[in-house]
Amino acid sequence: MIITPPAVADATGHVAEMYADDLSEDGFVFAHTRAMAVNPEAHAAFMALIRAIVPSIGVRAYEAATLGAARQIGSGHCLLAHGRKSLRAGVVDEAGMSSFAHGDDSAFSDPEQAIIRYSQRLSADPASMTDDDTRSLRDAGYSDRQIVDITLAAAARNYFSRALLALAVPLDDVPGLDPAVSDALRTAAGSRRTA
């Protein structure tokens, strides 16, 4: 990563909050947080978008959309971070997360699996999507608002993940993940870069 983020000691405002969140949670500031701290207004806007999305679909659907998109893109940053978030939220257990990393989504509910497939299509080739893709979410029981918010969740993950990948942000270890789960998620991303 050739960009120079603000130093922790010099951080103020939203940057200081970003750094403080990582420090209080994990004891260090993640490389992806440091990269996004270069434009704290964009990070704040991204977080505001996420806060506008989650209430209609809930954490489980949001994580399914995020994980599906991140796996398709090959984002180790987001697979590791949201793998841990999904485990902590009880979305899946460690065996289910390892299975997901290996392409088996059966630990997720049928509606969540529909979200994962939809998010992967959006992340791979959105121009080829049709009403049939949206209908798969409708058939899974999601409302118009939820379909839009699932789409926004997957698209937002594309924005964030692709920015980190394009900037060659180093991939940190995520504390609290079983090493086998972490290794499976890194392998799913096709990346073994470390800070």
pLDDT at 193 over 90: no
Domain 12-189 has CATH 1.20.1290.10: yes
- Tell me the DSSP string of 126-163: GGG--HHHHHHHHHTT--HHHHHHHHHHHHHHHHHHHH
pLDDT of residue 1: 83
Per cent of the chain over pLDDT 70 is: 97
Would you place residue 93 in the very low, low, confident or very high pLDDT band (cuts 50, 70, 90)?
very high
pLDDT at 152 over 90: yes
C-alpha torsion sign, points 30, 36, 38, 41 = negative
Per cent of the chain over pLDDT 90 is: 89
pLDDT at 126 over 90: yes
pLDDT at 194 over 80: no
Cα separation of 63 and 54, whole Å? Answer: 10
Would you place residue 195 in the very low, low, confident or very high pLDDT band (cuts 50, 70, 90)?
very low
Would you place residue 190 in the very low, low, confident or very high pLDDT band (cuts 50, 70, 90)?
confident
The residue-averaged pLDDT of 62-80 equals: 95
Could you state, in order of their start, the residue ranges of all structural domains in the chain?
12-189
Q: How many CA atoms lie within 13 Å of 45's alpha carbon, on the beta-carbon side? A: 7
Per the listing, tokens 């893709």 go with 133
pTM of the model: 0.91
Query: What are the CA-CA distances from residue 51 to residues 47, 136, 149, 158 (Å)?
Result: 6, 25, 11, 17
pLDDT at 134 over 70: yes
The residue-averaged pLDDT of 99-115 equals: 96
pLDDT of residue 150: 98
The mean pLDDT of the chain is 93
Q: Residue 102 CB: number of other CB atoms within 10 A?
A: 10
The residue-averaged pLDDT of 68-75 equals: 95
